[in-house]
Amino acid sequence: MERAGSALGPLIKDLGLEDSLRLYRIKQSWQETLGQPLSLHTAPSGLKGGLLYVSAETPAWLQQTGYYRAQVLEKLARFGVTDIRLKLGRVDSPAVRKPFKERPPTEPDPELLDELVSPIGDEDVKEAVRRAVQKSLSRPERKPR
């Protein structure tokens, strides 16, 4: 019998959700991955392949993030990010965002999960992917070999 996890990978790929799932994971761990103050003034806004789009709230933070480009890429490599494109954009204030300590990674953000599965038309498939993603996120991440 085939494990659900081995069947889920091709399904996610066929549905074109790989980048969405990786972006979801990046958003969930942004504060923990980058630390303060950088994570308070920047936010991931898109992902296409290995290119992560990062919004910075002011030109000063855009420039500051550029200075730390190599370190940011090193920290994001575990998500398959190979390059970042910086832009000015909306970044929720810390008061709006929940600190990563308040919501452990085992509890996925419902809004981000809805965004992830929204392109799927079939309701049964949508619910199956939702459950699979929730199960996947509840397990600790494995380190690459």
CATH number at residue 53: 3.30.300.180
Residue 122 included in any domain = yes
Question: pTM, whole model, 2 decimals?
Answer: 0.60
What is the maximal distance between C-alpha atoms in the chain? 55
Residue 145 included in any domain = no
**Based on the structure, what is the number of domains in the chain?**
1
Residue 12 included in any domain = yes
Residue 144 included in any domain = no
Residue 80 included in any domain = yes
Residue 56 included in any domain = yes
> How far is Cα 98 from Cα 9, in angstroms, rounded to an integer?
30
49-88 pLDDT, tens per residue?
Answer: 899 999 999 999 999 999 999 999 999 999 999 999 999 9
The pLDDT of residue 9 is above 80: no
User: Which region holds residue 49: left if phi is over 0, alpha if psi is between -120 and 50, else beta?
Assistant: left
Exposure string of 59-70, with b = 16+ CB inside 10 Å and e = fewer, is: eebbebbeeeee
Retrieve residue 18's tokens: 């790989």
Residue 126 included in any domain = yes
Position 15 scores a pLDDT of 61
Which residues 6+ apart lie within 8 Å of 19 measured at CB? 47, 48, 49
Pick the more confident residue, 19 or 31.
Answer: 31
Residue 130 included in any domain = yes
Range of the domain at 14: 4-101+110-138
